[in-house]
Amino acid sequence: MTVRDILKMGDARLLRVAQPVTAFDSDALHLLITDLLDTMRAANGAGLAAPQIGVDLQVVIFGSHARNPRYPDRPVVPPTVLVNPVITPLGEATEDDWEGCLSVPGMRGVVPRWSRIRYTGFDQYGDPIDRTVEGFHARVVQHECDHLWGKLYPMRMTDMAQFGFTEVLFPDIAADEDD
């Protein structure tokens, strides 16, 4: 088990466009995914992207088997490893909701996202993934994949008046669960 350091906003490595994975089912890729899972679980996150631990590859993980104590009212998203993703918006509809990020600790902001998307890509074995999703699941995928294009959620915000410290905005959220 290796819990890696999570890069914070301001680190130039979070602004890179990540490289596609070219070798599936490799020891290096499996090790990367183990580290991402260990790091995400240790931080109680809803998702994590390889660039957040300084790895310049198009790999994200998200979802959980159980409800996240930080998001008890939100739908469960199936645990997913997504490599070389492509997101296609379905329709013009967008929706606003609060987001946090392990690379922007202690903050929350309202971010517009596509309501419905199709996403494709591969798992760590090279098997294809092709899903059509909406709502929170669609939001999580868009947030995590944005890390692969060098985008952090504050860069997607349209109303900076809806950006602030979690402890002020949501005082019921424990201070140690602050992504």
Tokens 């809803």, residue located: 46
Q: Which is nearer to Ni ion, 82 or 101 (CB)?
A: 101
Please state, in angstroms and rounded to a whole number, the distance separating the CA atoms of residues 148 and 57. 8
Is 144 annotated in the active site?
Answer: yes
Contact 115, 103 (CB under 8 A): no
Residue window 84-113: x/- pattern of binding to Ni ion, with contact defined by CB under 5 A = -----------------x------------
| Number of residues near Ni ion (by CB under 5 A) | 1
Phi-psi region of 38 (alpha: psi -120 to 50; beta: other; left: phi over 0): alpha
Q: DSSP letter for 74, please.
A: S
Smallest distance from Ni ion to CB 126, Å: 25
- Report which residue's Cβ sits closest to Ni ion: 101
Any contact of residue 141 with Ni ion (CB under 5 A)?
no
Any contact of residue 40 with Ni ion (CB under 5 A)?
no
Please state, in angstroms and rounded to a whole number, the distance separating the CA atoms of residues 63 and 139. 12
- Catalytic member of 95, 99, 134, 144: 144
Please state, in angstroms and rounded to a whole number, the distance separating the CA atoms of residues 29 and 20. 12
Catalytic residues: 144
Residues found near Ni ion in the complex (CB under 5 A): 101
